Amino acid sequence: MKILVVDDEMDVKTLFEQRFRKEIKNHDLEFQFAFSGEEAINFMKDHEHEAVLILSDINMPGMSGLVLLKHIKENYEKPPPIVMMITAYGDSENYNEAMKLGADDFLTKPVDFAILKEKLKNFMS
């Protein structure tokens, strides 16, 4: 299964690759990275028929994570991609907005990768 990580911070790529080193090695997970909302939408267009799980930051210049979430949930009905939001703003307003737009889960930075792995496992099965 492909996982698309969307974040404007370049170092996210390195971090995820190291954190999921074993999973990547064993081909349990496959990671793709997009550094803006716009880039993520282009990626989705190219992989329209694949099952994709999206992990997205909310605060990004240009298209924000919430706009991206809305776009995905509106345009991709079958199969509905799973979208998890990851943000530095853990406030209820952000959370409620994300849930209203159909986010499947919500995590705050700094990311606890043990919890993230657990959640990913649940979504995979």
Partner 1 sequence: MKTIIFTILFFVLFAGSMFAQDYATEKDLAKIEIVRQKFLRSTSNFEKAQLAMELSTVYRLIVDNENCKKYATIAINLSKNFRAIDKNSRLHLQYKEILAKAIENYGATLAFDDATKANDTLQVSLQLAKEIGDKKGIAMVNYSLGLANSFRSNTLVAIKYFDTALVLFTETKNKTYIGNTLFNLSLEKRYLGMYGDALEYSIKSLKIAEEIKDTLLITNSLLANGFNYMLAKNFPEALNEQKRALLFFQMTKNDNGLATAYNDMGTTELNAGNLDSALKYNKIALEIRKKLNNANEITISYNYISQILRKQGRFKEALAASKKAIPYALKFGDSRFTMDTYLETGDTYVELGDYKNAVINYNLAYDVALKNNSRNYQAAALVQIAKSYYKADNRNEALKNLKLADQIVQLNDFKNRRRIYKTMTEIYVKNNDFKNSFENQVKFQQMNDTMNVIEKAEKITSLTQKLIYENKHSLQKASQDKEIAIQQSQIAQQKFMRNLSIVGLVIGIILAVVFFIRFKEKRKLNIELEKTLTDLKVTQKQLIQSEKMASLGELTAGIAHEIQNPLNFVNNFSEVSADLLAEMQQEINKGNYAEAKELLKDILQNLEKINHHGNRADAIVKGMLQHSRSSTGKKELMDLNSLCDEYLRLSYHGLRAKDKTFNAMIKTDFDESIGKIMIIPQDFGRVILNLLTNAFYVVNEKKHLNLENYQPTVSIGTRNEDDKIIITVNDNGNGMSPEVKAKIFQPFFTTKPTGQGTGLGLSMSNDIISKGHNGTLTVDSKENEGTTFTITLKKENT
Nearer Cβ to partner 1, position 58 or 82? 58
- Whole-number Å distance between alpha carbons of 38 and 30: 21
- Whole-number Å distance between alpha carbons of 56 and 90: 14
Query: Of 94, 101, 103, 120, which one interacts with partner 1 (CB under 8 A)?
Result: 94
Handedness of CA 107, 89, 72, 52 (dihedral sign): negative
Report strand pairing: 30-34 vs 52-57: unpaired
- Whole-number Å distance between alpha carbons of 119 and 112: 11
Nearer Cβ to partner 1, position 16 or 104? 16
Nearest distance, CB of residue 125 and partner 1, angstroms: 24
Per-residue contact string for residues 23-52; x = within reach of partner 1 by CB under 8 A: ------------------------------
What is the contact surface with partner 1 in residues (CB under 8 A)?
9, 11, 14-15, 18-19, 59, 61-64, 66-67, 88-89, 93-94, 97, 109-111, 113
